[in-house]
Amino acid sequence: MKKKVIGLIDSGSGNIGSIKKAILKTVKYKPFTLKIINSKKDFKDVNKIILPGQGAFATLIDNLHKKNLYKELLRLISELSIPYLGICVGMQILATYGHENKKIKGLDIIGGDIVKFKKKNLIIPHMGWNNIHIKKPNKVFDNALDQKDVYFVHSFYFKSVEKKYITATTKYHHNFPSIVNKDNIYGVQFHPEKSHLVGMNIIKNFIFKA
């Protein structure tokens, strides 16, 4: 049996060790193999794509362009409907624009803007354990995950997202989208690879059900 290929994008903006380890543990003894994506040619024969994000929106977008990954990633997930899981900033770049030091164009797959938490006296970054409230369950994020705690580290959040694309919300002063989904495209603001058994179940669901 030919193994299905999970493409893990190494954007160069963060350590991919934790998510790599979690994926390998999930697919052990299963008909899947992991491929690290460093260049456009590495996308060949990939069946699913995971983009872990650390650092800044602008840096991730810039690195995807520098590695000649941006256009091919957009084509594969938008035109060819290859399942995609974006983690943290990997989720945020699905937005139309990111607003850090300047306005940066994202993939514009799910309309909205990435903006900074601004409430006075709110501790930034939002870091640590917080729960997710499932609003619209699907095959990857079902009701069994409702009110489960996951691990966050972020200063920016997804704003002005259409309700139909919001799978789950989390409250940090106000509710923000912590999971988004549009067809084959999934994004999580938290880090499943750091979220113990709950996170491993999310990775497992994406790999085997998406």
Q: Give the DSSP per-residue string, 177-207.
A: EEEEEETTEEEESS-GGGSHHHHHHHHHHHH
Work out how many domains the chain is built from and give that number.
1
Q: So what's the pLDDT on residue 196?
A: 95
Residue in 65, 162, 191, 196 annotated catalytic: 191
Give the residue numbers spanning the domain of 90.
4-209
For range 200-207, the mean pLDDT? 97
Whether 159 has a pLDDT exceeding 70, the answer reads: yes
Rounded CA-CA distance 27/40 in Å is 24
191 in active site? yes
Asked if residue 201 has pLDDT above 90, the reply is: yes
**Among 65, 72, 79, 88, which one carries the catalytic annotation?**
88
Q: What is the pLDDT of residues 118-128, one digit of tens each?
A: 988 999 999 99
193 is catalytic: yes
User: Average pLDDT, stretch 189-207?
Assistant: 96
Which pLDDT score, from 0 to 100, does residue 1 have? Answer: 66
Domain at 47, CATH number: 3.40.50.880
User: In this structure, what are the phi and psi dihedrals at residue 12, rounded to the nearest 5 degrees?
Assistant: 85, 5
Give the pLDDT score at 101. Answer: 81
Determine the 3-state secondary structure of 139 from DSSP: coil
**Residue 13 — very low, low, confident or very high, per pLDDT cuts 50/70/90?**
confident
- Does residue 148 carry a pLDDT above 80? yes
Query: Listing from the earlier edge strand, what are the strands of the sheet with 103-105?
Result: 103-105, 97-99, 113-116, 156-159
Could you tell me how many residues make up the chain? 210
CB 12 within 8 A of CB 53: no
